[in-house]
């Protein structure tokens, strides 16, 4: 699954991770069909007609449902999904995809801004733990903007000089290249899209400050820029304040801008004026067996405590990232779809470990485990009082990671600026270096996922080509889930499946919705980016197939992407190399023809944890230059190419870093080992564009896939024959 650089800033699905981590159950999250319809619901044609999507979607579906005899086939029967922003509500919304008209919501928000004397209000996509994926109550950016992507920041202004009864203002949403097309489709005409990384395009920080500066210059008044301090990091606050100061000092006009924390979230304050506020679900939390983790909680704590004392001379460390808490405690939950984590904070001291978590009944199966590891359990919100008390002792600074929120640091620093120290999280780096047990678990997980994926692709090709069935993107996604559930220790999906045909594949993080998706067209490219959560590991695989006759352009561009994938997979690199340094290795063949892609080449992958995991990554983003790749790192390899409005190509494998026999001076050399077990699309490969080494690598890889996967299928079955063909020598 593609990720923009290393910034972990990716959207829930119907299928949440099971609350019972020891079983292979999959539960759908609560439907919102019992919600009352929103006050500005546009569920009939609504905003869909703005993009022409309603009529084209249904007319295409109707025409494709007809056979050559004119008979209409019954749709494939499969479970349907609900989603936080796009909801199929059979009672209230007549089974049509709902989109949000933001006009009334923005007006109500500006009323709240006026009450707080704000000229600008910032709404990030993250929750209080800076999670990439968030639960329904934390999807505030989606609520106010209508944009459902997992990464972005929305900014709303209020003209402080306006005398109109309905406050005036403008608003913008900033996101990265993965979501440009999606944002243009989802945002209504109230919003301007700020394209991150595009030349001469302002960042959301610059745009916010420019708007405030102009208002201040025009009115002669102080303009406040506000944000919920729990939703941005303290590091982001420092950066933003620096930009404000620079703007004031460089301005030729007299301006007065102030960046302020707003304790009451203004989106939460208006939510119930439009729809019922979603319940925050707190599910059971259970221990993960040592046979999956390789290291006990006590061993992990010892390493962290030693690191804090020896390197930083600090006795207390506040852990706010949910995956770090889950990792160190060897516990897993399901409070957020896809991510086996649970809402909590943790304070690690020289002698005590305190877990702050609500609904202690959900710790029933973990109670003995926590007691054995001497973990004290307190209510979730108790952390605020405990931080105040800890910070009183000025001889005992409190360490917080660079991902800690402004609110956390504010609470600590009330007693003085010397009461805290920001450090790189020692947990993050330790977590990124997988134990031998975790590496073996990752291999096992990708082996099982390979069985399901090969079965799925063979099934899909047979259905659309040989049976002439008309299967849409959601039905395909549901069928893949069905195959994955057959595998032992399957818990759920690791992200929302990207099942996309034709031009939809050019939308990098496209996710199909019922009644607003396309029927898979065998004459066009089909891209599937999906992953699983198994007890023994997390998977993420992307394959691009063509079930008919591809164009020469598609074949050539697929081959360029494949060459980049192979170049990275076969790379030897010296100790100390970062992902930033090797990103161009995967892009070089596309660059030769003036082509590129707007996302990172690789991201860290968790061990039955978050599918996007820091601090390592392979990207053009400077953040991936901060940490060198080390043996044990688990990382994706996913170059791509996207032709807007026509097709998309992405090939993604997961690899781990291991040592080679080479050494240069005192520097070791490392390499990648690919653990994904799914073949490439043979008919999309231009063999004439490949070197002998590349052909040998593909043949060797395909032989390995055949050896591992074919034994799971009956001889001469559809999947057996498909795999035999796809892995045959090129």
191 located within any domain = yes
What pTM was estimated for this model as a whole? 0.86
CA distance linking residue 385 with residue 388, whole number of Å = 5
Residue with tokens 């032709």: 643
State yes or no: pLDDT of 40 exceeds 80. Answer: no
State yes or no: pLDDT of 9 exceeds 50. Answer: no
At 26 the pLDDT is 36
State yes or no: pLDDT of 38 exceeds 80. Answer: no
Residue 573 sits in which domain range? 15-25+435-726
39 located within any domain = no
Write out pLDDT tens, residues 318-336. Answer: 999 999 999 999 999 999 9
Peptide bond into 402 cis (omega under 30): no
350 located within any domain = yes
Whether residues 421 and 453 share a domain: the answer is: no
Whether residues 413 and 511 share a domain: the answer is: no
Nearest one of 120, 130, 125, 152 to 244, comparing CA atoms: 120
Write out pLDDT tens, residues 657-683. Answer: 999 999 999 999 999 999 999 999 999
650 located within any domain = yes
Whether residues 524 and 609 share a domain: the answer is: yes
Whether residues 503 and 650 share a domain: the answer is: yes
At 308 the pLDDT is 83
Residue 92 burial (10 A CB sphere; 0-12, 13-18, 19+): middle
The 10 Å Cβ neighbour count of residue 479 is: 19
Write out pLDDT tens, residues 287-316. Answer: 999 999 999 999 999 999 888 877 878 889
State yes or no: pLDDT of 61 exceeds 80. Answer: no
State yes or no: pLDDT of 162 exceeds 70. Answer: yes
State yes or no: pLDDT of 241 exceeds 70. Answer: yes
57 located within any domain = no
Question: Of 412, 432, 452, which residue constitutes the final position of a domain?
Answer: 432
Banded pLDDT at 420 (limits 50, 70, 90)? confident
The 10 Å Cβ neighbour count of residue 264 is: 10
At 11 the pLDDT is 35
Question: Of 404, 432, 460, which residue constitutes the final position of a domain?
Answer: 432
Write out pLDDT tens, residues 124-152. Answer: 999 999 999 999 999 999 999 999 988 99
At 45 the pLDDT is 28
Pairing of strands 420-423, 490-493: unpaired
State yes or no: pLDDT of 581 exceeds 80. Answer: yes
Whether residues 256 and 145 share a domain: the answer is: yes
92 located within any domain = no
Tally the domains of the chain.
3
Banded pLDDT at 240 (limits 50, 70, 90)? very high
Q: Region 437-447: what's the mean pLDDT?
A: 98
Whether residues 511 and 638 share a domain: the answer is: yes
- Looking at the chain, the whole-number percentage of residues with pLDDT higher than 70 is 86
Banded pLDDT at 417 (limits 50, 70, 90)? low
State yes or no: pLDDT of 487 exceeds 60. Answer: yes
411 located within any domain = yes
Whether residues 416 and 477 share a domain: the answer is: no
139 located within any domain = yes
Q: What share of the chain is helix, strand, coil (3-state, %, to 5)?
A: 40, 20, 40
* Strand residues in 644-724 grouped as ranges (E): 647-650, 653-664, 667-674
Mean pLDDT over each residue of the chain, to the nearest integer: 87
Q: pLDDT higher for 160 or 416? A: 160
Whether residues 252 and 106 share a domain: the answer is: yes
Whether residues 526 and 543 share a domain: the answer is: yes
CATH number at residue 706: 3.90.230.10
Question: Of 432, 459, 475, which residue constitutes the final position of a domain?
Answer: 432
State yes or no: pLDDT of 696 exceeds 90. Answer: yes
Write out pLDDT tens, residues 548-557. Answer: 999 999 999 9
Whether residues 260 and 352 share a domain: the answer is: no
CATH number at residue 255: 3.40.350.10
The 10 Å Cβ neighbour count of residue 576 is: 12
Whether residues 233 and 117 share a domain: the answer is: yes
- 228-232, 384-388, 671-675: least confident range: 384-388
State yes or no: pLDDT of 76 exceeds 50. Answer: no
Whether residues 265 and 316 share a domain: the answer is: no
């Amino acid at each position: 699954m593609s990720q923009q650089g290393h910034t972990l800033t990716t959207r829930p699905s119907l299928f949440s991770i099971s609350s019972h981590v020891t079983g292979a159950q999959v539960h759908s999250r609560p439907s919102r069909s019992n919600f009352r319809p929103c006050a500005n619901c546009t569920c009939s044609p609504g905003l869909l007609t703005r993009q022409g999507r309603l009529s084209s979607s249904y007319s295409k579906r109707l025409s494709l449902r007809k056979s050559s005899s004119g008979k209409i086939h019954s749709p494939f029967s499969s479970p349907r999904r609900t989603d936080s922003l796009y909801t199929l509500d059979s009672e209230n919304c007549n089974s049509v995809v709902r989109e949000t008209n933001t006009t009334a919501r923005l007006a109500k928000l500006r009323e709240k801004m006026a009450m707080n004397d704000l000229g600008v209000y910032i709404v990030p996509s993250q929750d209080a733990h800076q999670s990439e994926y968030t639960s329904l109550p934390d999807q505030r950016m989606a609520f106010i903007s209508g944009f459902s992507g997992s990464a972005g920041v929305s900014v709303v202004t209020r003209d402080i000089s306006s005398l109109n009864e309905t406050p005036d203002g403008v608003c913008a949403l900033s996101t990265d290249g993965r979501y440009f097309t999606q944002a243009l489709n989802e945002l209504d005409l109230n919003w301007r899209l700020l394209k991150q990384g595009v030349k001469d395009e302002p960042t959301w920080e610059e745009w916010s400050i420019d708007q405030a500066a102009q208002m201040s210059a025009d009115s002669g008044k102080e303009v406040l820029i506000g944000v919920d301090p729990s939703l941005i990091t303290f590091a982001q606050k420092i950066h933003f304040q620096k930009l404000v100061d620079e703007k004031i000092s460089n301005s030729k006009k007299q301006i007065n801008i102030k960046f302020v924390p707003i304790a009451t979230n203004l989106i939460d304050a208006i939510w119930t004026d439009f729809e019922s506020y979603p319940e925050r679900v707190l599910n059971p939390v259970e221990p993960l067996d040592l046979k999956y983790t390789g290291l006990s909680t006590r061993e992990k704590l010892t390493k962290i405590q030693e690191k804090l004392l020896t390197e930083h001379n600090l006795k207390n460390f506040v852990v706010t990232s949910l995956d770090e808490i889950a990792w160190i405690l060897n516990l897993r939950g399901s409070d957020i779809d896809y991510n086996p984590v649970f809402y909590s904070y943790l304070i690690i001291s020289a002698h005590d470990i305190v877990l702050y978590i609500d609904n202690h009944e959900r710790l029933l199966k973990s109670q003995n485990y926590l007691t054995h590891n001497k973990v004290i359990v307190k209510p979730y919100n108790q952390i605020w009082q405990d931080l105040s008390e800890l910070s009183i002792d000025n001889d005992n600074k409190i360490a917080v990671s660079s991902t800690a929120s402004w609110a956390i640091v504010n609470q600590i620093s009330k007693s003085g600026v010397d009461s805290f120290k920001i450090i790189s999280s020692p947990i993050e780096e330790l977590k990124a270096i997988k134990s031998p047990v975790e590496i073996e678990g990752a291999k096992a997980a990708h082996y099982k996922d390979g069985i399901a994926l090969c079965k799925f692709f063979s099934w899909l090709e047979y259905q659309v080509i040989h049976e002439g069935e008309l299967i849409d993107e959601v039905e395909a996604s549901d069928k893949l889930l069905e195959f994955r559930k057959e595998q032992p220790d399957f818990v759920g999906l690791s992200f929302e499946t990207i099942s996309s045909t034709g031009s939809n594949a050019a939308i990098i993080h496209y996710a199909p919705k019922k009644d607003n998706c396309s029927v898979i067209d065998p004459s066009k490219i089909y891209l599937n980016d999906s992953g699983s959560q198994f007890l023994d590991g997390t998977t993420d695989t992307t394959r691009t197939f063509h079930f008919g006759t591809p164009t020469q352009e598609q074949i050539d561009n697929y081959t360029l992407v494949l060459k980049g994938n192979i170049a990275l997979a076969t790379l030897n690199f010296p100790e100390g190399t970062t992902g930033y340094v090797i990103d161009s290795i995967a892009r070089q063949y596309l660059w030769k023809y003036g082509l590129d892609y707007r996302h990172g080449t690789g991201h860290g992958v968790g061990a039955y944890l978050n599918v996007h995991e820091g601090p390592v990554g392979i990207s053009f983003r400077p953040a991936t230059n901060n940490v060198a790749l080390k043996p044990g790192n688990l990382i994706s390899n996913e170059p791509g190419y996207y032709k807007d409005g026509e097709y998309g190509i992405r090939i993604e494998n997961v690899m781990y870093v291991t040592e080679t026999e080479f050494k240069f001076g005192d520097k070791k050399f490392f390499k990648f080992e690919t653990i994904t077990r799914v073949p490439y699309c043979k008919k999309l490969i231009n063999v004439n564009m490949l070197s002998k080494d590349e052909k040998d690598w593909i043949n060797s890889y395909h032989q390995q896939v055949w050896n591992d996967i074919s034994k799971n299928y009956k001889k001469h079955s559809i999947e057996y024959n498909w795999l035999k063909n796809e892995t045959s020598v090129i």
